[in-house]
A and B are shown apart, each in its own frame.
Chain A
Amino acid sequence: MADSTATPPTSAPLTQLPIVGKSEIRPTWCPGCGDFGVVAAVESSLKRLKIPSHNVVIVSGIGCSSNLPHFLSSYGFHGIHGRAIPLAEGIRWGNHGLTVIATGGDGDGFGIGAGHFIHAMRRNVDLTYVTMDNQVYGLTTGQASPTSTMGQKTKSTPTGVIENPLDPISLALASGATYVARGFSGDVKHLTDLVANGIAHKGFAFVDVFSPCVTYNKINTFDFFRQRVYKLESAGHNPNDIVAAWQRSLEWGDKIPIGLFYSVDRPSYEDLEEVLSAGPLVSQPAGLKGRDSLLDEFV
């Protein structure tokens, strides 16, 4: 391969380049699926922030919601089940000039991928993780998920779930996430604020979204959430107060909070990784030409 005139992916001028929009692929979700609201919110967020489409990578795992990258005009990586986060981390560390958004479902993120979810938060990697939490496995035709309600009957739990559901919000707080929010795909405008602010946030931004499955979850429906959700922004919640965030995260029942639970400024992993202070790894020199003194340590 010879040197070429191709553009290395560094900080290209941001004006006049296309912003993320819809791709030529139409979503394949069931009519009425909550995920339509989420893809709309992600698209609106990127438009609001005016991030050119070539500087955005949307990464996902496997599940209905993980098809999302195909529906937008950015770069994308539709990976394997449960591994969206380490893939997204690697992309960030390869080129931290990119805006990286990981997306997926509750099974992908809190079941098979739970280990990665926790560690990405303690690392405070600067990426945004949007989960479409429908409390059920949809693509595999309706089994219980880590966030399914106790007693919920599914194909894998015909007599009802006998495990306590995992709470993504309190898990994120415990894991050290620096931006923890919950949205509802029935309120795209509010969700767009949460996602856009998450993308703008430096560090790991987590947005768990109630994104109802209209086919396999007859409990946690749009109506279920419409009747229960209230906005933390209208309830006097201070998102810089972690104790208050903990208390709000425990609320479940007739009143369920959505909005920004917690936000704090902390150096990101990329800030602390000294090698990256010299710029995106992808633009740094590579190889050992002229470094012959390196061999002296072996003498």
Chain B
Amino acid sequence: MTEITVRIGGQAGDGIASIGEAVARSFSRMGLHLFGLNAYQSVIRGGHVWFQARASDGRPYSPGDGSDILYALDRATVDIHSAGIRPGGTIVFDPEKFPLTASDVPAGVRALPVPTLEIARKYTSQSILQNAGGIGATAFLAGIPLDMLHGVLTDAYGRKAGDVVDWNLGASADGYTFAEKQSSPHAHALSKRGSPKLLMTGNQAIALGAAAAGCKFLAQYPMTPASTVMHWMAAHSHSLGIVVKQAEDELAAIHMAIGASFAGVRSMTATSGGGFALMTEGLGMAGMTETPLVVVEAQRAGPSTGLPTKTEQGDLNLMLGAGQGEFPRAILAPSNPAEAYRATVTAFDLAERWQTPILLASDFHLSESLMTVDRDEIDLNVPVPSLFTVVPNGHDYRRFQYTESGVSPRAFPGQPGLNFIAGSDEHDERGHLVSDIHAGIPLWISERRRMMEKRMKKLHGLAKDSPGPVFEGPADAPLTFVAWGSTVGAVRDAVALLREKGKSTNLLHFPTVYPLDPEVIRAAFSRTRQTLLVEANYSGQFGHLLRGEAGIELPDRLLKYDGEPFFPHEIVARALEVVI
């Protein structure tokens, strides 16, 4: 696998995200797979921001370890990132902005001074155009053909008024030509490899999956890193016929979504840990009233407000326990956009089939990273069956009828002859309260027990219908990594790195983190020799869950809670410690 990694850094407000995306999109249009990491802080102007595109002729699942080309828009970028440049790499900078001396440049790395400001002045007095010259030089070094870059810039700036497109095309060509004269492409520069890939963030994949699954209503309150689910949906609201409601708070958001679902519309809400904490009572009401609902929980580093723009898998316990009392739920945990698309479709299917809330666990690293997807990994032709299946039957309709599976016939307001009350209080089959004049009276004590068991039975169905644990890699490997969610990506890359080192390892990951079928889990672990649990939280929450649900002990762990995603080399290093 040949790979090349471009990193671009500067201050918030410098336009790093746009030029980073232009580089990423150039790679994906070349038919290369890539992982794009978006690293920023919780400020709008100032602060250090960087974007990294790791492109490969194979399939990278993580940001990787280090970079080959560093385009530094400020001095701080060199100070922070130069140590990560691999030998043979290049630093692109403008000496008019800051000087670099030989001691600033690591051994085996070149510095390429590019007059980006001077190039920009040829076209305009707006200094932001310097980025075009810088990106042109960077593209040359990375092996991106100029026409590929120009196509991307034209699409990005085509809608802007005046000469913006022409300036960008001219300045990027100047930067490209300058680099061509002064330097040569990186030894790992990649060439075009076929038809363009799709490039999307985890959140875009989730929004797309929801739309494909028939979601018609999204209510959400802004919170990083979940907000871009709402942004994509809002941008497509009119064309796709999806109502997008920015609510006054997360309490309202989840109740609006439950209300729309009660009315017969597939509905979703998305938030991060803090917002999800507010939603927990509503989540329980969806469970109690057996109202389907999909909730996206894009985790960020906690506790409390924590690190708003950094990643963590610290909310698993919250998701498992959210809401007072007990009710059936499932938690799906995709690791990349292709999986997130499919998991979202599955989440809607499970929610409707089992009439209960389904959680989709994402995190900053999945939600905001840009990754490539092959077109055939996204099947938009998802069946969206009618929900109106109950036919009036005299006066005997019982919304919460006791059934073998626990699932009862679901009617909707507007359907004649099926009127019922959805009750947050404990209720009988018709929805009438057990809680006030009946509670504690023998007949109703057993009624409560039956209704509780009816709901909880659905957990068995959920366990059966949810995707089970997956093995990847050689079956007889002496070491098995155990991971869930976005962490799976870096583990996949670590398995590949270890293979190159002649070390055989495999991966056991969990697209569904709850419910877990103990028999299935024990069977999976019976095939492992030694294990290493890799989780982005302090206490190993998933490890505790495996112990509680299936009695599986995972003594060796690699836990990370510094806000950064896992990098493959960290996993490799720990694996080598464990297997020795």
In the assembled complex, the Cα of A5 lies from the Cα of B386 at a distance in Å of: 10
Q: Which B residues are CB-close (under 8 A) to A76?
A: 419-422, 431
1/0 contact trace for A1-41 toward B, CB 8 Å? Answer: 11111111110100001000000010010000000000000
Residues on B with C-beta less than 8 A from A25 are 432
* B245 surroundings in chain A (CB, below 8 A): 89, 93
Given A54-B419, A80-B282, 20 extra CB contacts under 8 A: A1-B387, A7-B416, A12-B414, A62-B424, A67-B436, A77-B422, A79-B422, A83-B252, A83-B255, A94-B216, A94-B262, A116-B251, A116-B252, A119-B248, A275-B237, A282-B265, A282-B412, A287-B211, A287-B214, A298-B198
Q: Are A6 and B198 interface neighbours, CB within 8 A?
A: no
Contact of B282 among A28, A83, A286, A290 (CB under 8 A): A83
Q: A70 in the interface, Cβ–Cβ < 8 Å?
A: yes
Binary per-residue interface labels of chain A (253-293) against chain B in the complex, 1 for a CB within 8 Å, 0 otherwise: 00000000000000000000111101001101111111110
Nearest Cβ in chain A — how far from B11, in angstroms? 28
Q: Return the chain B residue nearest A299 by Cβ.
A: B196
Interface bracket on A: 35 or more
A75 contacts B by Cβ under 8 Å: yes
Contact in complex: A55, B414 (CB < 8 Å) = yes
Of the candidates B200, B208, B216, B433, the one whose C-beta lies within 8 Å of that of A70 is B433
The residue among A4, A54, A291 with the most chain B CB atoms within 10 A of its own CB is A54
Nearest CB of chain B from residue A161's CB, rounded to whole Å: 26
| Residue among B199, B242, B262, B425 making CB contact with A299, cutoff 8 Å | B199
Q: Could you tell me how many residues of chain B have their Cβ less than 8 Å away from some Cβ of chain A?
A: 81
Which among A6, A86, A118 is the interface contact of B255 at CB below 8 angstroms?
Answer: A86
Instruction: Decide if A288 touches B380 in the complex (CB within 8 Å).
Output: yes
A5: which of B259, B391, B436 is its contact (CB, 8 Å)? B391
Q: Which residues from A are CB-within-8-Å of B421?
A: 69-70, 75-78
Q: How distant is the Cα of A28 from the Cα of B435 in the complex, in angstroms?
A: 12
> Contact between B414 and A83 (Cβ–Cβ < 8 Å)?
no
Taking the complex as formed, is A200 at the interface, i.e. its CB lies under 8 A from any CB of chain B?
A: no
Report A210 CB to chain B, min CB distance, Å.
Answer: 24
C-alpha gap A286/B266 in the complex (Å) = 9
Q: Do A94 and B417 touch (CB < 8 A)?
A: no
Q: Which of A159-213 contact B (CB under 8 A)?
A: none
**Inter-chain contacts of A97 with B (CB < 8 A):** 414
B213 touches A79 (CB 8 A): no
Q: Which 9 A-B pairs have the closest CB atoms?
A: A9-B414, A90-B259, A94-B263, A94-B260, A286-B214, A287-B384, A86-B255, A90-B256, A75-B413
Within 8 A of B (CB), among A99-137: 115-116, 118-119
**A145 part of interface (Cβ distance < 8 Å):** no
**Other-chain residue from A53, A86, A291 in contact with B251 (beta carbon distance below 8 A):** A86
Q: Tell yes or no: A74 within 8 A of B by CB.
A: yes
A89→B259 contact, CB < 8 A: yes
Q: How far is the CA of A5 from the CA of B415 in the complex (A)?
A: 12
Pairwise interchain contact B256-A89, C-beta atoms closer than 8 A: yes
Say yes or no: is A294 at the interface (Cβ < 8 Å to chain B). Answer: yes
Please determine whether B264 and A95 come into contact, CB atoms closer than 8 angstroms: yes
> In the assembled complex, which residues on chain A have CB atoms less than 8 Å from the CB atom of B253?
86
A43-66 at interface with B (beta carbon < 8 Å): 52-57, 59, 62
Is the beta-carbon distance between B413 and A276 smaller than 8 angstroms?
Answer: no
Contact assessment for B263 and A98 in the assembled complex, using a CB-CB cutoff below 8 Å: yes
Q: Is residue B80 within 8 Å, beta carbon to beta carbon, of the partner chain? A: no
Q: Is B542 an interface residue (CB 8 A)?
A: no
A116 to B253, CA, bound (A): 10
Q: Is B103 at the interface (CB under 8 A from chain A)?
A: no
B389–A4 touching, CB < 8 Å: yes
- Nearest B residue to A273, CB-CB: B243
Complex interface: chain A residues within 8 A of B261 (CB): 90, 94
* Nearest CB of B to A128, in Å: 15
Partner of A79, one of B375, B381, B390, B424: B424
The answer for the CA separation of A67 and B285 in the assembled complex, in Å, is 16
- Is A87 among interface residues, defined by CB-CB distance under 8 A? yes
**Taking the complex as formed, is B217 at the interface, i.e. its CB lies under 8 A from any CB of chain A?**
yes
CB neighbours of A56 from chain B (8 A): 413
Q: Assess whether A86 is in contact with B247, with CB atoms less than 8 Å apart.
A: yes
With A8-B388, A90-B255, A286-B266 known to touch, is A80 a contact of B281 (CB < 8 Å)?
A: yes
Q: Does A88 sit within 8 A of B, measured CB to CB?
A: yes
In the bound complex, CA of A288 to CA of B266 (Å): 14
**A73 beta carbon closer than 8 Å to chain B:** yes
Quick one: closest B residue to A53, CB to CB?
B419
Of A1, A116, A294, which contacts B389 at CB under 8 A? Answer: A1
Asked if A91 lies at the interface with its beta carbon under 8 angstroms from chain B, I say yes
The reply to whether A116 and B248 contact each other, CB–CB distance below 8 Å, is yes
A87 contact from B211, B215, B256, Cβ within 8 A: B256
Structural contact, B263 and A275, CB atoms closer than 8 A: no
B256 touches A10 (CB 8 A): no
Question: In the assembled complex, how far is the CB of residue B433 from the closest CB belonging to chain A, in whole angstroms?
Answer: 6
Which residues from chain B contact A287 at a C-beta distance below 8 Å?
211-214, 382-384
Q: Is A295 an interface residue (CB 8 A)?
A: yes
